[in-house]
Amino acid sequence: MSSAPNVAIVGVTGAVGQEFLRVLDQRNFPIGNLKLLASKRSAGKTIDFKGKTYTVEELTEDSFGDVDLALFSAGGSISKKFGPIASEAGATVVDNSSAFRMVPEIPLVVPEVNPEAVKGIELGKGGIIANPNCSTIIMLVPVTPIHRAVGVKRMVVSTYQAASGAGAAAMAELEQQTREVLEGKEPTCDIFPRQYAFNIFSHNAPITETGYNEEEMKMVKETHKIWGKNDIQIAATCVRVPVMRAHAESINLELENPIDEKEVKELLSKAPGVSIIDDRAGNNFPTPLEASNKDDIFVGRIRNDISRKGTGVCGIELFVCGDQVRKGAALNAVQIAELLVK
């Protein structure tokens, strides 16, 4: 576009919506007019952005007539209803929900991995682009350089997912529960049906007929779509941990061709969006606290899989941490938008 695009943020009062504003500001994303949209109950609230005060408007079918770019983070049902309406009105939609991820004709994009997927989409001329699941993004940013170099044959991943993945209300409830438990009170369990503070439990997504929950299956299906390969074997186990922000993942890779841990470390040291914390002598590796409010995915515990020794199969282990609200959601969406502005 010859001029700065008019931008709308749908779901601006939520955790990711607020992060959209911070990321847009910090990255100096070009904005003509800015429209902040949310539910009827949030309409009328004011939000400051770059020295100007904006009034939140109610999201309606008429909200997108003058919008070039619409960043959605208001849940799947809202996206399913209003995403096509926004696109029909001429806004290019980048959607953070799961509503469109597996629709064949809609690109599912991690800019460090498959930026070519947005080819042909012009800002301000409609179209929908899907933001992947946060756990998929955090996994694929460091694993894709390895896949490109030697090929991933099989991947087993276990996630340790923070409250941020369930939104601002879950983060608030974790804080509240922590105080209540320390005071000897019965914890409030409105967001999750069980105590979250000082506990871990299987991810709250519904269990499918395979025995895997929907969060785990998202990691499988989305990786196949993003990489364009359906023959890679992937198994995931997703759990909630009482961490406020930033997810962690333990990743085991079976590779098509040999590579050793030193070569992997060298490869990842040059990969976009990756920072390495891998100090064996100091037992210093990535933590959610270090990853919180950061753009990069932090990688450590880079090591050869000793269970593969003598088998003729090459295996590599990684431990990664990434900010779910940021790279797992808002930042990735803004980076997609940046691909369209260039």
Enzyme catalytic residues = 134, 247
Q: How many CB atoms lie within 10 A of CB 294?
A: 16
Which tokens is 114 given?
């498959």
Instruction: Say how far apart CA 40 and CA 38 lie, in whole Å.
Output: 7
* CA angle (284, 290, 294) in 5-degree steps: 140
Give the DSSP letter string of 261-310.
HHHHHHHHHTSTTEEE--BTTTTB---HHHHTT-SSEEEEEEEE-GGGTT
DSSP 78-136: HHHHHHHHHHHTTPEEEE-SSSSTT-TTS-B--TTT-GGGGTT--TTS--EEEPPPHHH
- Structure-token pair, residue 107: 């690109």
First to last CA, the chain: 8
Cα(301)–Cα(286) distance, integer angstroms: 8
